[in-house]
Amino acid sequence: MARSVWKGPFVDSYVLKKAEAARDAGRHDVIKIWSRRSTILPQFVGLTFGVYNGRKHIPVNVTEDMIGQKFGEYSPTRTYYGHAADKKAKRK
């Protein structure tokens, strides 16, 4: 079920603070965040976030199309290289 509109979009407050600071400063470096659950807001467009995936921060360049989605959607948490059996079958 979708979130109630009256609550507004959810963003962890430290993300907002960091983004604002980066905007005021040179805004060149990657903003490291752990908050995968935060919504991408219009004022984040053009910034680069390092979204944590449990192991490292994946750089995400925010574009206009991403607004409204969550940061976690751009930082995959699983690595999958396929099954051993599949590779054997392909080699033959």
Partner 1 sequence: MARIAGVNLPTSKRVPIALTYITGIGTTSAEAICEAVSIDVTRRVNELADTEILAIREHIDANYAVEGDLRRETQMNIKRLMDLGCYRGLRHRRNLPVRGQRTHTNARTRKGPARAIAGKKK
Task: Specify the residue, 42 or 76, whose C-beta has the smaller distance to partner 1.
Answer: 76
Which range, of 2-10, 13-21, 43-51, 62-70, touches partner 1 by CB under 8 A?
62-70
Tell me the two tokens of residue 15.
Answer: 């993300």
H or E stretch including 57?
Answer: strand 57-61
- Site residues for partner 1, 72-91, by CB under 8 A, read 72-74, 76, 83, 85-86, 88-89
H or E stretch including 19?
Answer: helix 13-24
User: Could you tell me whether strands 31-33 and 57-61 are parallel, antiparallel, or unpaired per DSSP bridges?
Assistant: unpaired
Q: How far is the CB of 5 from partner 1 (least distance, A)?
A: 22
Task: Specify the residue, 28 or 83, whose C-beta has the smaller distance to partner 1.
Answer: 83
Among 65, 79, 81, 91, contact with partner 1 (rule: CB under 8 A):
65
Contact yes or no for 67/42 (Cβ under 8 A): yes
